[in-house]
């Protein structure tokens, strides 16, 4: 029945070549929303040296009700397709999802000693999912500075790692995808050898050659592409080797 639902619904949604490499919708995959930045999940800044920094919810999004040029039109269409894909998978897997996401996360970060100051922006609780996470995507508005934005993640038996997303040396909104390397495809042997993956938040590394001042970075709609092809296998059928 679930397979039939996927086949019928997928006919109305075309694979977008700019979203997760144009994957075909199927019950093998799942696109999960990591954060849509509603007020029920607070985010905060963690830093030993930076005290004049904060995060707030913002109304700014990479969607334009009345696009003024082809670039805004393209961004709006891609953003809508991104949300549509996530909602499709949520409905197919009987998950609740908000379709009226209207807020983004605005990070106001003050660097007094660029190149020697880094920080972590994190939700109150890490985001944990099961399955083999192939990639994560998010929308980011740059600010023209060369500060580096990273995704902070971990897997069973692997301490926290920072995966590069992009330097903020551009203006406007961009969509980025971060491929998850094989060494983070790990099983939790104490939980029926299931795949697990955790996102702790975002780290920002200030650039040595930037001037002291405020770095304003806005992030929106973080999702992950999860491969669930092993979901229906019994534990005894899953290999013991951690790949």
202: left (phi over 0), alpha (psi -120 to 50) or beta: beta
pLDDT of 5 strictly over 60 = no
Nearest CA to 200 among 127, 109, 106?
Answer: 127
Nearest to 153 by CA among 138, 174, 141: 138
- Mean pLDDT, to the nearest integer, of 65-72? 82
The top-level CATH class assigned to 32-64+102-237 is mainly beta
Is 6 or 63 the better-scoring residue by pLDDT?
A: 63
- pLDDT band, residue 74 (cuts 50/70/90): confident
Question: pLDDT tens across 109-154, in order?
Answer: 888 888 888 899 998 889 999 889 999 999 999 999 999 999 999 9
Q: Could you give phi then psi for residue 208, rounded to 5 degrees?
A: -55, -35
Query: How much is the pLDDT for 241?
Result: 37
More confident residue, 126 or 58: 126
Place of tokens 């985010």: 43
Q: What is the DSSP letter of 9?
A: H
pLDDT of residue 234: 47
pLDDT, mean of residues 94-120: 82
Average pLDDT over residues 159-176: 94
Helical ranges in 109-160 per DSSP H: none
For the chain, give every domain's residue range: 32-64+102-237
* Contacting residues for 107 by C-beta, under 8 A, at least 6 apart: 45, 53, 54, 55, 121, 202, 204, 215, 216, 217, 218, 219
Check residue 16 and give its pLDDT: 67
Rounded-to-integer distance, Cα 99 and Cα 190, Å: 36
Cross-strand pairs, 175: 139
């Amino acid at each position: 029945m679930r397979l039939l639902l996927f086949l019928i619904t997928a006919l109305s949604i075309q694979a977008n070549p700019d979203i997760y490499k144009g994957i075909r919708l199927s019950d093998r995959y799942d696109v999960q929303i990591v954060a849509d930045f509603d007020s029920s999940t607070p985010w905060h800044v963690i830093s030993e040296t930076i005290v004049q920094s904060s995060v707030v919810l913002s109304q700014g999004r990479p969607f334009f009700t009345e696009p003024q040029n082809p670039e805004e039109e393209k961004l709006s269409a891609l953003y809508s397709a991104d949300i549509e894909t996530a909602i499709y998978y949520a409905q197919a897997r009987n998950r609740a999802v908000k379709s009226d996401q209207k807020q983004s996360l605005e990070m106001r970060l003050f660097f007094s000693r660029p190149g020697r100051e880094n920080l972590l922006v994190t939700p109150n609780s890490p985001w944990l999912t099961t399955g083999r996470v192939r990639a994560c995507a998010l929308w980011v508005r740059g600010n023209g500075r060369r500060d580096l934005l990273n995704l902070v993640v971990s897997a069973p038996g692997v301490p926290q790692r920072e995966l590069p997303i992009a330097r903020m040396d551009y203006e406007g909104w961009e969509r980025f995808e971060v491929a998850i390397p094989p060494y983070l495809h790990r099983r939790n042997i104490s939980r029926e050898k299931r795949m697990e993956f955790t996102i702790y938040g975002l780290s920002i590394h200030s650039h040595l050659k930037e001037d002291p001042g405020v770095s304003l970075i806005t992030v929106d709609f973080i999702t992950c592409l999860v491969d669930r092809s092993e979901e229906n296998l019994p534990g005894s059928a899953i290999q013991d080797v951690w790949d």
